Structure 1
Amino acid sequence: MQVKILPAVSAVLAALLIFCFTSCNKVLNQEPVNSTYDGVFWKSVGDCNAALAGNYSLLRDALTYKSNSYYMYGDAVAQNYFTIQYTGDALEYIQGGDFTQNYNLNSLGNWSRFYKVIAMCNTIIKKVPAIDDKLLYKDISDVAAFKDKIVGQAFFIRAYCYFMLTRVWGEAPIELEAYDNPLTAPQLERSSRVAVMKQVEDDCHKAIAMLSWGYENTAEQAVMANKGSAYALLAHLYLWRATMTDATSNAPIMQDVQHADTTIDAVLTYGGYNFTDTANYSRMFIGRSSESIFEINMSEDNKEGSFEGIGLFFLPTQYLATATTNPRYYVPKRYLDDHYGFGGEWVWDEDAYAWIWNTFYDSTDVRFRHNFTNIRQPHPVCLKYSNVVYRSAQTKTDPYLSNNMILFRLSDMVLLKAEIALYKGDAATAAGIINDLRKRRGANEEHIADPSGTVEDVMYEYVLERGKELYLEGHVYWDLLRTRQYEPFIGWLTESRFKQSGYYWPVDPTLFRDNLKLSQTSYWKGKI
């Protein structure tokens, strides 16, 4: 997100960010900080906007941290959706279910960055309501609505962080207080998954009560949270809670399923979101499309592009001037076969001097045509995020990826309605939702789900459709866990490991130095 900040406010914001990086409580490494900024900060509309901009910046940093953690958690560990080649940092080990390598444990296993965001949220939630209204009237007429908009977004961001924490680690400390001095912050033990999920729910409801539908101006579209963003997060929370509260049971909690259903109905009825025309499909992933509900702004238009964006790791030299011919990430042939393949034929390969199987792919599907290339080569390429901008345009060096990180969008919500129908035993309705989206994306008739199929059959079609529509959008791993469809796609996750909650990450042992109340994730006790 880009907010214009006056130089004086920018200096104060820098101080506030430093404070938030060191005042997150003793689940983090901390140092004393001299908090002298309150006397000059929290005095104006600009201060509030600057703090909120800093909060979004911290959230972006948390999700792009160390090899794009958002995609590592939500896509890479699903194993058969994209392949990480070895380069010496052991990142590829996570695709085999081994989260114990030092690089991964000390980076992806460390939750500190989320607590830095939460600390900023707590500060905004505490400070903004306390600002004297008289200080704000000179810039705005409706002070109450302005405060609600700032604080509501802080509640949404905090809810999203706790949702990430419980999906990645299960249990996590819950910190809701803002501390002027981190030395006064208590040491906190990990709260139960149920408690963390309840916190997400409560924060979403508070955000919904404070925020409105739509946007005040186009610059805010999708990159600032509104009521629709909070409803979308709440819908995901309800479905996660419905199926992941008890890993030993495959029976969903139907009350939460129903809550998810009515929540999504609100998004579809009042959100004003519309499907992108097929002709503009590729532009959707640049950002701010009519489908987008919430995304992280990473546009190079505002010099906020990423020089380590996930898409850059897929691109060979023909698409990225500074790349090698063999990028670190590539699309496995199995993914393409499972999701877009239908039949094939044996053909003679002169180079290999052998008969090889040539799979037929659904080339009429816009997702296949626009998202993938080099499909007959050993390492197929993903082009979903390939909006590269060279800051040194003449020499084509200093490349930055200018694609926003989409967290929630319309088709995600629509497909979740199919999942809800399946939990209710209504396979025909679910198949209809799946087929409507497949037809919208131009899928071949061979890929139409059978509406007379069983719930189990349609559930498999459902996860395939989620895997096509939301490829590399940070959803697939959580989808496979939630629906219990993990075994066909995640080779390392056996039923036994699943029932032991072995899909959660271990906690970085360095965090235990400052918090003696912490305990290791149960599955990883004795393994680290």
Structure 2
Amino acid sequence: MRIYNKVFSFFILLVGSIVLNSCDDKLDLEPLYSQDADSYFSTPADYERALVGAYDLMQTSYLNLWIGEIASDNAIAGGESVNDTQGLHEIEAMNHNAVNNELRSVFQFNYAGITRTNYLFINKDNIDFPGKEVLFGEAHFLRAYYYFQLVKYFGDVPLIVDKFLGADEVTTIGRTPSAEVYAQIEADLIAASEVLDWTVEVEGKVTKGAALALLGRVYLYQDKFEEASQVLEQVINEGPYSLITTTSSEEYTDLFSVNQEGNSESVFEIQYSGQEGGSYGCLVCLEGFAAVGFQGIRQYEGPVYGDGNSYNLPTQDLYEAYALGDIRRNGTVLNLDEFISEQPNAAEISYAVGGGGHTGFYNNKYIKRQDELGLPDNDLTSPVNYRLIRLPDVYLMAAEAFNRKNGPDDAKALGYLNDVRERVGMPEVNFSGEQLTEAIWAERRLELSGEGFRFWDLVRTGRAAQEIDGFTAGKNELFPIPQIEIDLAGGNWNQNPNY
């Protein structure tokens, strides 16, 4: 059994009523529009349904994957033309501004997730039932996740906890300093880790390991290396996870397949289903992982892969970053022409190049494959889960934390780094100090490219200006607050610097 994404309308507090809607009938919410705020949270099932609604906004992870790669030196936007998802092309060129559909979606989707978790907390004391503590542990994790997305994109953001805002409050609330937002994120993740178990019966539910690993990531983004080293090592030493040795690029790529969902390296996955469709007009309504189909090969006719929209195309720079013999190169980056040349029917294989840019490379971790198609339109219904937290990431975060903390433990850092390299057949390295730091950062690119982390790694380590074309220091570390959100807040929010 797994938790599938169910799409609800936003929880809306209007004259004491709550509206619940869904694109899916599995939750049996009939009759629609019939429950109000006073009566809704009256059974354990009500809380479970609301929690599923809070999980639901995680399905918008396709935006984090795209922006985390396209804003960096790892990928270009691609697509049919430069007007195909124009906001991604603006982000690629580093000329984005406060009018950008993708950035507004990030802002809206994450606040929608926060609203749904807050609604649970507002009604926390209505009834008691077995498992309530764990349910709210999951809600703590979800709220932390959504706020973490917002603070890393936008910096200072309004912090709203355990309440709804009335119409008169919306135009008076200000942006909360990011340090306070981070403090709330930490508190939520600590609360979650204290009540959640390492394993769960329902696939897709948050675990103790997920909460601690995300907490370690949050600490790392704030340069809290001592704290990060402690919680990340707890995940490594106490969690039910283990690294997987792979001996070929095919085996490495397979770690991201449907068949390998929930493998021993997986700490937390965002769940998707290929059983229900959606539309291009509402990507947030999808049950499937939109990134996979959109990153497919345009008008492709041939073996293994499926046709798609050629988004998020890896760069030559990324391809050349891998050492000869590193199986992760072809496991991560599909060199399409090389792949075609190796096929026995190469002359019969064809594809098209989009006007949004072409590099010859495709994201081999998350790409449409013929044996993983969802229901039509299968561009929108990939069943592949997004691996939000993988154990190699935990090892590399721990390596960095031990290397960069006061009183560094380079021996332990080096051990974790080499563990990640050894599992893919790469030789051990032997560095210390700043050389070790650089080696860990380089390894993060080799291990995690195509997964949406590169831009944030470059920003948090101060390397973005030297690695990203067009990046302006003092500006592009943050994205602009969407102008329409500033307007809706009464114009009382200052824009981020230099936008």
TM-score bin, normalised by smaller chain: 0.7 to 0.9
Q: Is the 8 A contact 1:77 1:95 kept in 2?
A: yes
What is the CA–CA distance in structure 2 between the aligned matches of 1:392 and 1:153, rounded to whole Å?
A: 30
Deviation at residue 43 of structure 1 after TM alignment: 2.1
Alpha-carbon spacing, 1:427–1:391, altered in 2? closer, same or farther (3 Å): closer
3-state SS, counterpart of residue 464 of structure 2: coil
1:370 and 2:331 are equivalent in the alignment: yes
What is the CA–CA distance in structure 1 between the aligned matches of 2:438 and 2:9, rounded to whole Å?
A: 47
3-state SS, counterpart of residue 467 of structure 2: coil
1:289 and 2:271 are equivalent in the alignment: no
- What's the TM-score, normalizing by structure 2? 0.79
1:124 — aligned with what?
120
Deviation at residue 426 of structure 1 after TM alignment: 4.9
Q: Is the 8 A contact 1:314 1:329 kept in 2?
A: no
Aligned partner of 2:417: which letter?
Answer: I
How many pairs are equivalent?
A: 438
2:315 — aligned with what?
332
1:520 — aligned with what?
494
* Cα distance per residue 1:30-78 (max 9 Å; x no partner): x7773452344222222121111111112323x3xxxx32123322211
Q: Is the 8 A contact 2:274 2:373 kept in 1?
A: no
3-state SS, counterpart of residue 205 of structure 2: coil
Deviation at residue 504 of structure 1 after TM alignment: 0.2
Aligned partner of 1:507: which letter?
Answer: I
Q: Is the 8 A contact 1:93 1:101 kept in 2?
A: no
| Higher-RCO chain (CA-CA 8 Å, sequence separation at least 6) | 2
- Greater C-alpha Rg: 1
1:95 and 2:92 are equivalent in the alignment: yes
Alpha-carbon spacing, 1:310–1:77, altered in 2? closer, same or farther (3 Å): farther
Q: Is the 8 A contact 1:152 1:208 kept in 2?
A: yes
1:382 — aligned with what?
363
3-state SS, counterpart of residue 122 of structure 2: helix
5+ long unaligned stretches in structure 2: 19-34, 278-285, 339-358
* 1:56-67 correspondence to structure 2 within 5 Å: 56-61=55-60, 63=61
1:172 — aligned with what?
157
What is the CA–CA distance in structure 2 between the aligned matches of 1:334 and 1:153, rounded to whole Å?
A: 39
Q: Is the 8 A contact 1:235 1:261 kept in 2?
A: yes
What is the CA–CA distance in structure 1 between the aligned matches of 2:271 and 2:57, rounded to whole Å?
A: 12
* 1:2-401 correspondence to structure 2 within 5 Å: 2-3=2-3, 17-20=8-11, 22-23=12-13, 34-35=17-18, 36-61=35-60, 63=61, 68-78=62-72, 80-85=73-78, 86-88=81-83, 89-90=85-86, 91-100=88-97, 102-104=99-101, 107-108=104-105, 111-131=107-127, 133=128, 136=129, 143=130, 146-179=131-164, 187-215=172-200, 217=201, 219-220=202-203, 223-242=204-223, 256-278=224-246, 281-285=252-256, 286=258, 287-300=261-274, 305-306=287-288, 308-310=290-292, 312-316=294-298, 317=300, 318=302, 319-323=304-308, 327-338=310-321, 340-341=322-323, 361-362=324-325, 365-374=326-335, 378-386=359-367, 388=369, 389-391=372-374, 400-401=381-382
Q: Is the 8 A contact 2:396 2:416 kept in 1?
A: yes
Deviation at residue 234 of structure 1 after TM alignment: 1.0
What is the CA–CA distance in structure 2 between the aligned matches of 1:186 and 1:415, rounded to whole Å?
A: 43
2:413 — aligned with what?
430
Deviation at residue 262 of structure 1 after TM alignment: 0.9
What is the CA–CA distance in structure 2 between the aligned matches of 1:379 and 1:32, rounded to whole Å?
A: 55
Q: Is the 8 A contact 2:103 2:482 kept in 1?
A: yes
- What's the TM-score, normalizing by structure 1? 0.75
5+ long unaligned stretches in structure 1: 6-12, 24-30, 137-142, 243-255, 342-360
CA RMSD of aligned residues (A): 3.0
